[in-house]
Structure 1
């Protein structure tokens, strides 16, 4: 706002609107040492806000790119985002078997070379139990309040177990950094729910403290600078803000939205998008997990910067025609569009 305009408003007894004074947020990573590749990706995502939505597909560790390839066979387009996970299980739950981790870096390099943006999730095993672990009773488990405090206290046995798990993952992320591949990392997702061991703990000493602990450990101890940090709660029901570490602690925001059980309510209420937009404060906002695809009309009303379908759920929750229609929508960008846009 020009000084004379501001003076005129003051004379009238009016305040200058905050948005005009502060200006829109700039694509500045929270990590001051972020790699050029991470900075370029973040700037690209900022440029999509309100205009375009990146298509995305999650792939389970044991099947690598099977669901991404299924989308390409159906639509003729590769999704713009390739999603993956580090796994947690053994052969009893082979699709998330940690024995496949050594194959992950090569697959990510292949997908990145093809033009995909990489999003990595992590269903971390409860540090008190270790890995491999089952989903029920391992990922879906609890820590006592005393264990939670121990986890957040450097030097304690439980902290050391947690750090050993994160050291293991850091080795893979360091290989990707050496290959100059930026990663959108979404640890401790759906923390506003009570199902995962890291979830259901609001406030500054809750899930937000664990988020901050991991950020500090990865940036200061492991010097991982190729990461964009994506905070992705479950559907933004009231109270979601009490789990938020703050805009200065996240690069991106997202929300995981699945149809509510035993309910005929709309899958994507406009109020949820508005709530997440308010938290984001101008930072890129994604639909970080979903089964039912938002329609082109819904994406026009709720212009998420990306969506990521959760594996085979895409094909169970949508018809082939519905999937094709979304992937062909002019608002939706696929892998070929990203290759052009990031040049």
Structure 2
């Protein structure tokens, strides 16, 4: 589940080839779906863990076969939070109270392990909270449902929760990072809980594990703007490898699930894709705060169709991993059936295997499963009665398939340094992981120079020291290449590494666009991106220095797009937000957004002026975002300016204006 106020309108076959794309470390051929077998022979499935239990393999096969036959309905915390029951006995759920049956999927979260969600408790011991999560998995299985597990992980640097985006956490929990051991300890608890989930006959209960979700947004510490795509890919891979290979967890399928929207373009969706060898389920999260508008449904279906298309190419399970109606812009009494109808009407989108909504945690606007008396209850009943929806009582043969796993081919990837990582000292450690095989020789080289040998270390990495010439720490970039000789073949990977410090910006400055070594990819990684947009460096349109920002937008059916950057600063010494802006001559508008203490303050700017000029937005004229009703009377005063956390720049559509264009920005700062 994402921060409900962030995403709002503000106006292939693993190892099939031995050569991999430079910097990506990803296989270049697509994976295969479960293959038909001769009568009586087991079905061959290709999944992340080729040593997974028979039930886990069967679950994957079932979900693959289910495509186009009906969509499974899922509900987060179905047995532990609700409006219709108080006793958490593993038998009552709001879904059952609403439609007479449990959901087909039961969602849980690792917050149970921290005691932050029921049935976990902050007063419980670590072992008791592990047992609580294990009990949830058993209860859902006993209800005839399928288990999913999401992971709202704490900030391992600051000790705060998942919404605390400070500390560049991902870089700190990767191998070699200062908080790597703490991250391992967290994964150990997940492993214990999942490995303890057994049926009365002793067999392990399969679980779909969905870590690091909605990472293309900026509301979590693993999200865009707080880590790079390469760091994200590596922490996802490390998580899989640690649970699968180090801890020997054999009852997990792994899900990847960015947040909406992509305009149907797979480029953004795949930007942080860990690779076919690390993902079983291609997921997608999208919530609606538009009362089921035609525009939202059109955008959703386009993206779901894109996810299904990718899943079919890669042999993965397509899923709508989070959905829900917020009720914040009026209620549509046919919301559920209109949503289902829109999905069913598209020949690709209708092939998503399941759709899972969030927990019934609080008030009426968060009743993701509407219970009797709710405005949407009658429509939810109609949704449940539709032959195309699947609830627990409808499930048949989920674990019945006889399968055999296709053996995973050898794979190699560069773990550290990651692509576009900046190194500021004369020493670094090169780490390479080789999975599903042993390498006879692993080496690294810089800019095509002499190869140096890496040795297998105690942590299972081929590693070695990289001594960097002090003269190279001048903001240059170099290419670090690694090669592994495996079974007579050479596997390769590489990363572009930035060397040297970047001069810090003056107090109050957000960006002057000079510190990216002229590299558009590095620029893009510094910002979170909402909906379709492209950011590149512009040498032609700028206020000063060598570069400004070219911000190209495609508003599409969403009607808005945005970029954001962490600030985490005290602006009490300043009175205005200032930037250089060159509009595109359209009637569209820009919204400057300052986030502080959970409140979202905005200031609007037209895009009609194409001359390129400095814009000054006094803090006294910022107002709370219209949708941020919790802070309707808030003022961007000294108390808020002392705790500014984020700057966002949204572009929004005006009636009759073009939906595409490019604006130019430079020298964004408080003064």
Q: Distance in 2 between matches of 1:91 and 1:180?
A: 24
| Cα shift at 1:260 | 4.8
- Which structure has more helix as a fraction of its residues? 1
**Which TM-score applies when normalising by structure 1?**
0.81
Q: Distance in 1 between matches of 2:380 and 2:211?
A: 28
Aligned CA distance change for structure 1 residues 83 and 153 (closer, same or farther; 3 Å): same
| Cα shift at 1:103 | 2.1
Q: Distance in 2 between matches of 1:67 and 1:58?
A: 15
Q: Distance in 1 between matches of 2:118 and 2:324?
A: 22
**Retained in 1: the 8 A contact 2:102–2:143?**
no
**Which TM-score applies when normalising by structure 2?**
0.43
Q: Which moved more, 1:61-70 or 1:275-284?
A: 61-70
Q: Which moved more, 1:48-57 or 1:331-340?
A: 331-340
**Retained in 2: the 8 A contact 1:291–1:310?**
yes
Q: Is the aligned partner of 1:250 residue 2:279?
A: yes
Q: Is the aligned partner of 1:234 residue 2:259?
A: yes
**Retained in 2: the 8 A contact 1:191–1:198?**
yes
1:187 maps to which of 211, 218, 223: 211
Q: Distance in 1 between matches of 2:91 and 2:53?
A: 30
1:288 counterpart SS class? strand
Q: Is the aligned partner of 1:35 residue 2:59?
A: no
Gaps in structure 2 of 5+ consecutive residues: 1-29, 35-44, 82-87, 326-335, 361-366, 401-671
Q: Is the aligned partner of 1:48 residue 2:61?
A: no
Structure-2 residue corresponding to 1:126:
155
**Retained in 1: the 8 A contact 2:108–2:148?**
yes
1:307 counterpart SS class? strand
**Retained in 1: the 8 A contact 2:253–2:280?**
yes
Q: Distance in 2 between matches of 1:90 and 1:249?
A: 26
| Cα shift at 1:339 | 4.2
Aligned CA distance change for structure 1 residues 66 and 38 (closer, same or farther; 3 Å): closer
Gaps in structure 1 of 5+ consecutive residues: 1-21
Q: Is the aligned partner of 1:283 residue 2:316?
A: yes
| Cα shift at 1:289 | 0.8
Structure-2 residue corresponding to 1:148:
170
Q: Distance in 1 between matches of 2:205 and 2:115?
A: 30
Structure-2 residue corresponding to 1:207:
232
Structure-1 residue corresponding to 2:382:
325
Relative contact order, CA 8 A, sep 6+: which one is greater? 1
| Cα shift at 1:278 | 3.5
2:308 counterpart SS class? helix
**Retained in 1: the 8 A contact 2:77–2:108?**
yes
Q: Which moved more, 1:36-45 or 1:60-69?
A: 60-69
2:110 maps to which of 73, 80, 86: 86
| Cα shift at 1:144 | 4.0
Q: Is the aligned partner of 1:225 residue 2:256?
A: no
2:93 counterpart SS class? helix
1:234 counterpart SS class? coil
Q: Distance in 2 between matches of 1:93 and 1:185?
A: 17
Deviation track 1:228-251 (CA, whole Å, cap 9, x = no partner) reads 001111114262221111223200
1:162 maps to which of 180, 183, 186: 183
- Which structure has more strand as a fraction of its residues? 2
Residues 36-115 of structure 1 aligned to structure 2 (within 5 Å): 36-59=54-77, 63=81, 69-87=93-111, 97=121, 99=124, 101=129, 102-115=131-144
Deviation track 1:100-143 (CA, whole Å, cap 9, x = no partner) reads 7332222321220221000111111111134xx4xxxx211224
| Cα shift at 1:327 | 1.1
Aligned length: 314
Q: Distance in 2 between matches of 1:263 and 1:113?
A: 35
Deviation track 1:84-103 (CA, whole Å, cap 9, x = no partner) reads 11216978877874547332
**Retained in 1: the 8 A contact 2:147–2:206?**
yes
**Retained in 1: the 8 A contact 2:71–2:388?**
yes
Q: Distance in 2 between matches of 1:47 and 1:92?
A: 36
1:51 counterpart SS class? coil
1:314 counterpart SS class? coil
Aligned CA distance change for structure 1 residues 287 and 66 (closer, same or farther; 3 Å): farther
Q: Is the aligned partner of 1:296 residue 2:296?
A: no
Looking at CA atoms only, which structure, 1 or 2, has the larger radius of gyration? 2
